[in-house]
Structure 1
């Protein structure tokens, strides 16, 4: 069973990165870096108060949003909590969908052989172009509002 799981992880990794070696990036797989406690608006929504200064935050696979939760079985819910906290640049209600997984990387929190995959979400609102947001559900980091977006208030 373990060999089958490792084989599946390697197949996914090969499909995502083109090689057997996981891709490395600046921020994707450093493990847990969270320094601030996460706040909630409700059980389905994070309260996001800090805006990112880095224009790559969330928009590039090398600097994904790190929501964590895979080991606690709350990773997908944490992804939705983050996205539910966001609004468009003028307070527009956003819509999103998960486009799939990509971009294998090494992380001490990976489930199989210290490997993780990012999830790619497509985010849009009425009259907008679609944005790509990369989310890491293996590692925890400080949650920020990506450049160009706003967040729900209390």
Structure 2
């Protein structure tokens, strides 16, 4: 009986491990994105790219990976210049603000912050400003004039 329980627990462990290694939190989804029809999508703080999927630490890494693979429609690469944090104009302060006593983060999960990324296009040296929200979920699309490209192996 003890061996049966041990064998069953090993099988359950390996099946769980196999499922977790095959789970990709959003990286495969980037290749299937459609282009937005809204010209302000991603370019204004009122209509940011919503990149929340999973926990916050992974979303920072995933958002930077996503942004690093964006190109203009005429295949110009984007060179990262800097990132700043700006306030979210769509944020409405709650009547009662409850914070996690250990982390100081609001329990609602909404911080009222956006990340503004500034890029420089190759050849023309135009600046591109993209606003990204990693704290709130939403439908992710490509901004007009940009495309997502997988790296060449």
- TM-score normalised according to structure 2 size: 0.61
Query: Which of 27, 51, 64 is matched with 1:67 structurally?
Result: 51
Aligned counterpart, 1:20: none
Unaligned runs of 5+ in 2: 1-24, 100-104
The CA RMSD measured in Å over matched residues stands at 2.9
Q: Give the 3 Å change call, closer, same or farther, for CA 70–106 of structure 1 in structure 2.
A: farther
Aligned counterpart, 2:116: 120
Query: Contact 2:49–2:140 at 8 Å: present in 1 too?
Result: yes
Paired residues, number = 113
Q: Secondary structure at the match of 2:112?
A: strand
For 1:58 and 1:77, locate their aligned partners in 2 and report how far apart those are by CA, in whole Å.
18
Cα deviation digits, residues 55-105 of structure 1 (max 9, x gap):
010000000000015744222112212212311121122112333100142
Shift of 1:148: 1.3
- 1:90 corresponds to 2:74: yes
Aligned counterpart, 1:12: none
Q: Could you tell which deviates more after superposition, 92-101 or 117-126? A: 92-101
Unaligned runs of 5+ in 1: 1-36
Q: Secondary structure at the match of 1:83?
A: helix
For 1:122 and 1:48, locate their aligned partners in 2 and report how far apart those are by CA, in whole Å.
24
List structure 1 runs of 4+ shifted beyond 6 angstroms.
none
Aligned counterpart, 2:130: 133
Kindly indicate which of the two structures has a greater share of residues assigned to helix: 2
For 1:100 and 1:66, locate their aligned partners in 2 and report how far apart those are by CA, in whole Å.
16
Aligned counterpart, 2:149: 152
Shift of 1:53: 0.5
Kindly indicate which of the two structures has a greater share of residues assigned to strand: 1
Cα deviation digits, residues 100-150 of structure 1 (max 9, x gap):
100142499x93264231000002221131011000010122221111112
Aligned counterpart, 1:103: 87
- The higher radius of gyration belongs to 2
Query: Contact 1:121–1:133 at 8 Å: present in 2 too?
Result: yes
